[in-house]
Amino acid sequence: MAEKKSGTLIVIGGGEDKEGRKTILKEVARRVGNGRLLVSPVASHEPEGYFPPYEEAFKELGVEDVHELDIRTREDAGDPDKLALFDGATGLLFTGGDQLRITSQLGSTPFWERLKALYDNGGVIAGTSAGASAMCETMLVQGTGRESHRIGDISLAPGLGLIKDAIIDQHFAERGRMGRLLGTLAPNPRVLGIGIDEDTAIVVEDDRQFRVIGNGAVYIVDATSISHSNVAEERRGRALSIFGVQLHVLSQGDEFDMENRRPSPGKA
């Protein structure tokens, strides 16, 4: 039996350009090639209207076989007609909304098995906004942005598990989410924090390293060397203190080795 080849993840901070240079969608299209691209608005409570802009953008980029995979219930995630759309697919894109809808509707369903097979056999899985957060083993669900983190003001949940030992936040600089990412890492400094700006993405190869593409920045927060935090001592609602955090800021072309936690510069 041939060894399975792990695919590629394109993790987008939201707000990706669909009308101009389409840098991020162009990367998705390149990796989809001549195969079928599925676009799933499962994260949205009101999915109508999500698909047409993507269909138009990808067809302009040369992807002729673009299909909406509309999953609204767990029953839909086992519908043979919907699952048949995976035949010939080389990529899938999750749109934005609520990441809990992605995991709650798809976990342990035939859809999930087809998605994992697509990835394990070299396909591309992309996710924007909520679709980005859901990529991780543990996903950030809720927390206040644009202010210093208050202890207890974070909600986490199991994610899709395609990225290990990291937590991803999106719309990062635009919504002032540094405080909540720090608050997520304080209880478990082993996990890497990744904040992705809008119209920006990381292209993850083999779950070990990634390259930045797009117009904004990617913030890497490494808390493994912290010397102190008050997250376990102070009561809920107090401001977080945390010492010794390491921060890297990457832009287009830069790369990051997640296994060894080392950034390297690259050409835009």
Give the Cα separation of 166 and 4 in Å (integer): 23
Q: According to the 3-state scheme, what is the secondary structure of 42-71?
A: CCCCCCCCCHHHHHHHHHHCCCCCEEECCC
Catalytic positions are 129, 147, 171
- Spatial CA neighbour of 127 closest among 156, 98, 104: 98
How many other CB atoms are there within 10 angstroms of residue 87's CB atom? 8
Please, which residues bridge with residue 218 across strands? 196, 250
Please, which residues bridge with residue 136 across strands? 163
